Amino acid sequence: MKLTTSESVLEPASPVGVTLPERPLVSIKPSGAWVKLNLRDLWLYRDLLYFLVWRDVKVRYKQTALGATWAVVQPLFTMLVFSLIFGRLGGMKSDGIPYPLFAYAGLLPWTFFANAVTASGNSLIGNSNLITKVYFPRMLIPAAAVLAGLVDFAITFLLLVPLMFYYHVALTWHVLLLPVLLALTALLAMSVGMWMSGLNVKYRDVRHTLPFLIQLWFFASPIIYPASIFARWRWLLALNPMSGIIEGYRAALFGRPFDWPALALSAGLTLTSLVYSAYSFRRMERRFADVI
Amino acid sequence: MKPIITAEHLSKRYRIGAHQASYLTLRDALARAASAPMRWLRRDESAEAARTLWALKDVSFSVRPGEVVGIIGRNGAGKSTLLKILSRITEPTSGRVDLYGRVGSLLEVGTGFNAELTGRENIYLNGAILGMRRTEIMRKFDEIVAFSEIDRFIDTPVKHYSSGMYMRLAFAVAAHLEPEILLVDEVLAVGDMGFQRKCLNKMEDVSQHGRSVLFVSHNMPSITRLCPRTILLEQGQVVEDGPSAQVVSTYLGSGLGTTAVREWPDLANAPGNEIVRLCAVRVRNEAGEVADAFDIRRPIGIEMEYEVIQPGTVLVPNLHFYNEEGVYVFVAHDCDPEWRRKPRPTGRYFSTAWIPGNYLSEGALVVGAALSTHDPVVVHCYERDAVAFHIIDSLDGDSARGDFAQPMPGVVRPLLPWQTRYIPHPQAQTESMAVAGERA
């Protein structure tokens, strides 16, 4: 077959309909020691973030027998086991809240956080085919992995409703702070996950370190125990940003007083680590395509 | 006219072994950091230089709107690295590029396709990955589906697609990105002829609208057909930049810059490492003489001479053959049982691989020589373009060419045994008897 149509390509094409911008749209040059966050690109690619989240959610539930039930099974059974071991047998204090409810309110943000950090920490490796072939702000990948976990969070949250009915715990206006707490949890997960995902590209043993680290973090957070058992050393616990957040969830759900200093410290630590990890990610990013 | 792409002094350095380094563990890194001050004191400049590879070195060019520029060069010449820099997948080590338009790349169509998702879902996902806004994809959706010719299966998960359908859909999305600058890497090899023509039309369309195309290919006919201008890269540098016909002929001739013998008399500077060093590569004929032109019917021997410095390593000499169009013809690993899987004592070795006669096609062949260990894989040395030779198919009539005097395509030209079974027609039988009768 003759490809006659392409002959005209040989003629110098008359540039119709193209007006070049005054300044280059993109300038490619080696980035120096100080990288910019390039927030403009993140904004330009915001639709991609949406589609990546959507893909992660869709694919996660597409080939599972139980589908969304998985999101409930994990915290529900953990709660039952904890209630039995720590609540019944161990007689753990729970600030006057029924222990199962107490534990569930802690597991709710924790499960989201732990799953989000794990998914996001492994996300770059899992998307290596994208990284070596197309440009887009790499930060979107770990961010999307965190946001996709919100669907699970919502499902887990719904289970709280019958539990609260069962234990006759009424909601108060404190619940209005819940979105802020959720946002903090997501941002903290993003900062840890993003940093871990970048390191994971470079050092493959991060993948094995991550579950271990999360497990340690679990015990350092007031999930099975209340922060109050630390009494005078409570400030030490508050250095873990998750502790202020988890106690915050309980305060919001059960109408208890907020520990504002601890919450403020959590927020401060979260934002600081987010900025640090974003810059650190950008610095690692330029070598992703070469080493992944 | 103002250019749409200007690249100035682009260089990209890779550290050899950087890939292994990527699987470095945190523990190693900590150990290294601890010993870093010591290593800094003993830093050896020449060792540092030996371990770096300049995939691109001081490359400058500019492209005007509407230009279709071909990029050619042998494997490893830096073509892919250049496209990767232009598409911002990787950063240059030095130099800069200014792009006055959106870049769309067809480096690998179907990137980000998810097998579980349907065709429709993948159009959105892939479009977004390529940099399209959601509204833009919605606007072009019908056009993309029509172009890909898969409308009936648009809501079927792509894992059920045939590879042709998959590629068509992927190309359709990429082709509708409508970037001002389109980077194309050999995608025209996909699909049937009809679809290929559609793709070529699309490329033409792109250039007619004042957009520019950079087209990387090993296929010289399509380069000369599609691109008025071509850039030839050789070892990361621009060797020639001009009218395609001229550049392509330089390229085709350049394989011959390499000769039938390559020797490294100084062992210390020979390719290799502390285990083994490559001393020479030679092309020999049956008589054992060094030769660079061979009759297609005669065997060709490629000899590697190497010295094992440190005993105890299993070595596999291997040869890599490229034809003049840069097509990777084959790889030959030494499977000789005498040294296979056996750790080698120190000493000088000569290993020769014999390519049988009536095997390769005519033309120039460039040979890369390597010494490796296969378990685990370690490449001790790889000398690209170590030697080259020519194969000539004379018209004597007893090669696979037969009596056919025109150019014959193909990377191999084996002389196959042919058999014909003949069932004579009853009428033919009488005819032949008649012929026989006449003769008598």
The CA distance from A174 to B281, in Å, is 80
In this prediction, residue B231 carries a pLDDT of 95
Cβ separation A51–B125 shorter than 8 A: yes
Residue among B126, B167, B128 nearest B150 (CA):
B167
In this prediction, residue B314 carries a pLDDT of 93
**ipTM higher than threshold 0.90:** no
Please give the angle made by the CA atoms of A278, A283 and A288, to the nearest 5 degrees: 105
Q: How many CB atoms lie within 10 A of CB B188?
A: 21
Nearest chain B Cα distance for residue A144, angstroms: 13
Given CB atoms, is A89 within the 8 Å cutoff of chain B?
no
* b/e map B63-75, b = 16+ CB within 10 Å: bbbbbbbbbbbbe
- The 10s digit of each residue's pLDDT in A84-128 is 998 888 888 888 889 999 999 999 999 999 999 999 999 999 888
In this prediction, residue B108 carries a pLDDT of 63
Report helix, strand or coil for A28. strand
Is A76 or B433 the better-scoring residue by pLDDT? A76
* b/e map A93-121, b = 16+ CB within 10 Å: ebbebbbbbbbbbbbbbbbbbbbbbbbbb
Task: Enumerate the β-bridge partners of residue B365.
Answer: B323, B389
In this prediction, residue A212 carries a pLDDT of 93
In this prediction, residue B372 carries a pLDDT of 93
Give me the residue from B84, B93, B204 closest to A8, CB to CB: B204
A76: which 2 tokens?
Answer: 């529900």
In this prediction, residue B16 carries a pLDDT of 63
Nearest chain A Cα distance for residue B96, angstroms: 5
Instruction: Find the residue in B nearest to A55 (Cα).
Output: B125
In this prediction, residue B195 carries a pLDDT of 65
Cβ separation B128–A20 shorter than 8 A: no
In this prediction, residue B304 carries a pLDDT of 96
For chain A, the residue count is: 292
Contacts of A201 in chain B (CB under 8 A): 22
H or E segment to which residue A27 belongs: strand A26-28
- The 10s digit of each residue's pLDDT in A126-172 is 888 888 888 889 999 999 999 999 998 998 998 888 999 999 888 88
Given CB atoms, is A62 within the 8 Å cutoff of chain B?
yes
Contacts of A58 in chain B (CB under 8 A): 116-117, 121
- The 10s digit of each residue's pLDDT in A258-277 is 989 999 999 999 999 999 99
B399: which 2 tokens?
Answer: 């090669």
Give me the residue from B99, B112, B124 closest to A26, CB to CB: B99
Cβ separation A6–B111 shorter than 8 A: no
In this prediction, residue A128 carries a pLDDT of 86
Cβ separation B204–A9 shorter than 8 A: yes
Scanning A13-32 for CB atoms below 8 A from B yields 13-18, 20-21, 24-31
- The 10s digit of each residue's pLDDT in B196-223 is 667 767 777 777 777 888 988 766 666 7
**Phi/psi-derived region of residue B410, left when phi > 0, alpha when psi is between -120 and 50, beta in every other case:** left
Given CB atoms, is A4 within the 8 Å cutoff of chain B?
no
Walk along chain B (440 residues) in steps of 10 and give the mean pLDDT of each run.
Answer: 90 67 60 56 51 87 91 81 89 92 75 85 90 91 90 89 82 82 68 63 74 80 79 92 83 62 85 92 90 86 94 93 83 91 93 94 87 89 85 76 76 91 79 58
In this prediction, residue B164 carries a pLDDT of 77
In this prediction, residue A5 carries a pLDDT of 35
In this prediction, residue A220 carries a pLDDT of 93
Nearest chain A Cα distance for residue B177, angstroms: 13
Give me the residue from A44, A54, A292 closest to B22, CB to CB: A292
Confidence of residue A3 (pLDDT cuts 50, 70, 90): very low
Cβ separation B111–A30 shorter than 8 A: no
Scanning A176-215 for CB atoms below 8 A from B yields 199, 201-206, 209
The CA distance from B405 to B408, in Å, is 8
In this prediction, residue B114 carries a pLDDT of 85
Do residues B337 and B321 make contact, with C-beta atoms less than 8 angstroms apart? no
Do residues A174 and A105 make contact, with C-beta atoms less than 8 angstroms apart? no
Contacts of A1 in chain B (CB under 8 A): 193, 197
How large a percentage of chain A has pLDDT more than 90?
48
In this prediction, residue B79 carries a pLDDT of 86
Residue among A83, A150, A131 nearest A289 (CA):
A131
